[in-house]
Structure 1
Amino acid sequence: MYPGHKLVAKMKLTDGTLRSFKVAKVFRENSDRINSLDFAPSGETLISSSDDDSIVIYDCQEGKPKRTLYSKKYGVDLIRFTHAANTVIYSSNKIDDTIRYLSLHDNKYIRYFPGHTKKVVALCMSPIDDTFMSGSLDKTIRLWDLRSPNCQGLMHVPGRPVCNFDPEGLIFAAGINSEMIKLYDLRSFDKGPFTTFRLQQDKDCDWTGLKFSNDGKLILISTNGTVIRLIDAFSGTPLQQFMGHTNLKGLSIEASFTPDSRYTIVGSQDGKIHVWNNENGSKTIVLDAKHPGPVQCVQFNPKFMMMGSACTNMAFWLPSTDD
């Protein structure tokens, strides 16, 4: 990969491997905060969106930026790869709250998905098909199909929603009002949730993200406060509260699972990255990225031993070969 490195396909992650992670490359392609990033399912490409209206496509194997596209008129946030090569969806942060479906190949829009009337704060692709889901500050969650501009399903919720699909793409979870998680069957979501988990309401912060682990057993809740919650996906039992990262400005800081579902990684206002062991709740390591700004985006590559973290800069992490 980058001088002397080669991307290693997933080997077993251990505390030792994670402690050996070092920044292999830093990219300064952006003039403003990177607001989201997403790895392609193949793990070979990473895409980022930024408050400077740019979309940067990175080659993970070569360790370099491939292309930069711009969405100057509408802005760009919450960028997500679809299952087709070279296409993405993203939300707008200027002019309107329409979701856009873009071909990266020729930088042309394939379709628009209008409907939300306030900022879109959650956007996720089904792991199995062309379904995707969005949640907005207009207190709705919408289900869509890439092939049609019309909303396929609409739910009104109290408060800011977070939502995501389970790894099999059969159910989705909606986190509502920072106090409950409702699980829906995708085939019959209009009948209402088949289960609801009530949690103690987070009064000091809002839920800003929800993710399932790859094994489907855990749900991770990100907040704009100083706590990240880990919940049993079947029973709703709170398992861990991860604390220690700094977030005093109410930032929406992303928390992510490692692909093996065993660890949680989260950024921090001070530019560091915290890694916890999901099973026992212990902190595995605090990695210093030397990020000059708050790390609001951090994800692990789905196929390779590599991590990406972002403030205004993008950092690529690899396990150190010295160990």
Structure 2
Amino acid sequence: MKQYEYIIIIMAKEKLNSKKYGVGLINYTHAQNTAIHSSTKVDDTLRYLSLHDNKYIRYFPGHTKKVVSLCMSPIDDTFISGSLDKTIRLWDLRSPNCHGLMHLPGRPVAGFDPEGLIFAAGINSEQIKLYDLRSFDKGPFATFKLQADRDCDWTGLKFSPDGGPLQTFMGFTNNKKIALEASFTPDSQFVLNGSTDGKVHIWNTETGSKVCVLTSDHTAPIQCMQFNPKYMMMASACTHMGFWLPNLDDM
């Protein structure tokens, strides 16, 4: 993998406040300058926000406890949410009504596959169920129980863009026991993850071995890590955001 240089840490030029409801998880939608987000105040309603004028387009009530999983479909206006109320809900941005409701035995995490036809539900940090979006009410078409080699809580779930062998990646710092997001590279060859010490760790997905550790100017835990799906650029975020590009001398 190409060596990366830390380019810059930036603050947003414009801040959009949500002082009344707060902001938990947030996803861009397919419409320009819009996003959906969970709330940290008042209630656990999901909110559809116009970033252009900082006004809400629609509200999605239903969850009664903190939303811990939020994922937008890669192909259309469908999105999925999971909550500590032990439910997963399916939504469409065009309607405030829940289009599908699943009651689960524990804390859920959820995510769509790259084609937007299948979604996965992770339950109790030990089991994954796969559902066909067109017939999810019939139950999962596959279930996998994973044997963890140590106690841990699942905080997110993502599909590899092209599949791959099962691996466990360890050796990074999370002494604050907070949710740290991992990300695939577009070719599925590597997984990237932030840490509470401000470093970025990168593993090979086929062998499970660590490729490198990147240092940065992050002074707070890196909780969000994303790789650009088209270009050789990645972003990391704590209270600030950092953009990374390959070192051109190594290319």
Name the TM-score class by shorter chain: over 0.9
- Any idea what the Cα deviations from partners look like across 1:278-311, whole Å, max 9, x if unmatched? 0111111100013111111111112222111111
- Alignment correspondent of 2:204: 277
RMSD, aligned α-carbons = 1.3
Q: Work out which of the residue numbers 129, 137, 141 in structure 2 matches 1:190.
A: 137
Structure 1 counterpart of 2:40, one-letter code: N
Could you tell me how far apart the structure 2 residues matched to 1:318 and 1:288 are? 14
Q: 1:264 aligns with which of 172, 183, 191?
A: 191
Which runs of structure 2 are paired with 1:95-106 in the superposition (5 Å)? Answer: 95-106=42-53
Distance (Å, rounded) in 1 between the aligned partners of 2:185 and 2:107? 26
Is the contact between residue 158 and residue 176 of structure 1 (CA under 8 Å) also seen in structure 2? yes
SS at match of 1:189: helix
Task: Say whether residues 1:21 and 2:10 are aligned partners.
Answer: no
1:3-27 superposed Cα distances (whole Å, 9 cap, x missing partner): xxxxxxxxxxxx2x1xx21111112
Distance, in Å, in 2 between the alignment partners of 1:161 and 1:271 is 28
TM-score w.r.t. length of structure 1? 0.75
Deviation at 1:319, TM superposition (A): 1.1
Structure with the bigger percentage of strand: 1
Residue 245 (structure 1) aligns with:
172
Deviations 1:83-138 (A, max 9, x none): 11111101111111110001112221110000000110000011111110000011
> Is the aligned partner of 1:210 residue 2:193?
no
Structure 2 residue runs without a partner (length 5+): none
Rounded Cα–Cα distance in structure 2 between residues aligned with 1:314 and 1:260: 24
1:197-246, Cα deviation, whole Å (9 max, x unpaired): 0111576211110001222x15xxxxxxxxxxxxx5xxxxxx21101001
Structure 1 residue 143: Cα displacement: 0.2
Q: Which residue of 2 aligns with 1:135?
A: 82
**What is the 5 A alignment of 1:7-18?**
15=1, 17=2
1:29-65 deviation digits (Å, cap 9, x = unpaired)? 3xxxxxxxxxxxxxxxxxxxxxxxxxxxxxxxxxxx4
Displaced runs of 4+ in structure 1, greater than 6 A? none
How many Å separate the matches in 2 of 1:170 and 1:253? 26
1:34 aligned residue = none
Counterpart of 1:314 in structure 2 is 241
Q: Which residue of 2 aligns with 1:255?
A: 182
In structure 1, distance between residues paired with 2:230 and 2:169: 25
Instruction: Give the alignment partner of residue 99 of structure 2, picking from 132, 152, 158.
Output: 152
Q: Counterpart amino acid of 2:199?
A: K
Residue 303, structure 1, aligned to residue 250, structure 2: no
Contact 1:179–1:202 under 8 Å retained in 2: no
Q: 1:155 to 1:82 in 2, by over 3 A?
A: same
Partner of 1:43: none
Percent identity between matched residues is 72
Please state how far the C-alpha of 1:66 moved relative to its aligned partner: 4.6
